[in-house]
Amino acid sequence: MKKTDRHCRIFKFEAEFSDNLRCIPMAVRRKLDLCGRKLRLQHWLELGDEQKMELLNWGDSELELHKLADRLKESCNEINRAIQEEWQQIDRVPGLIEEACLASKQPVPNLRQWQQLDELERFALLKLCSPGHSHSNSKSRGNLPLALGEFLENKIT
């Protein structure tokens, strides 16, 4: 599996939304952050299934992300590109992850487990924990244990 293949998937914890793609998958959200574009849920819902799948399957190389930013410049707001975000770092487990795990009575991933996660998995965990984010509501916090189980089940402790 190529690196980009791992970053074009829908997680099991997203399954209830994946049949009709009524929510923006984490894989798409990560690519949007990387290319500096903000796609509102309302705009996502207006896209056809083919367009949604195209965004999901879009590559995440630097060149592909540049093309994606250019393609979306008319329909999406520009935001700062994700550079050196916590989900891009593997030298420590972010405090936000620790706090959210403790608050939801989940085991906190250790540094080795964090380092074994791929960038999309780290992105998803942080988005599920982020305050003020659309995925930080109680429903999404309920997805945190599901995501942790999905991501850490085969990781060495």
DSSP string computed for 107-132: PPPPHHHHHHS-HHHHHHHHHHH-TT
Residue 26 has pLDDT above 90, yes or no: yes
Tokens 């509501």 correspond to 137
- Greatest mean pLDDT among 4-18, 39-53, 131-145: 39-53
* Tens digits of residue pLDDT in 55-81: 999 999 999 999 999 999 998 999 999
Q: How far apart are CA 52 and CA 84, in angstroms?
A: 27
Residue 98 has pLDDT above 50, yes or no: yes
Give pLDDT, residue 2: 47
Between vectors from CA 148 to CA 106 and to CA 31, what angle results, nearest 5°? 135
Give pLDDT, residue 134: 45
16 band by pLDDT with thresholds 50, 70 and 90: confident
Stretch 141-154: mean pLDDT, rounded?
Answer: 87
Q: How far apart are CA 38 and CA 33, in angstroms?
A: 7
As a whole number, the mean pLDDT across the chain is 88
- Helix runs in 47-94, H state only: 49-57, 62-72
DSSP code at position 49? H
Buried-exposed string 19-29: b where 16+ CB fall within 10 A, e elsewhere: eebebbbbbbb
138 band by pLDDT with thresholds 50, 70 and 90: very low
5 band by pLDDT with thresholds 50, 70 and 90: low
Does this model's pTM top 0.85? My answer is: yes
Question: Residue 145: which of 104, 89, 97 has the closest Cα?
Answer: 104
Domain ranges of the chain: 3-78, 86-152
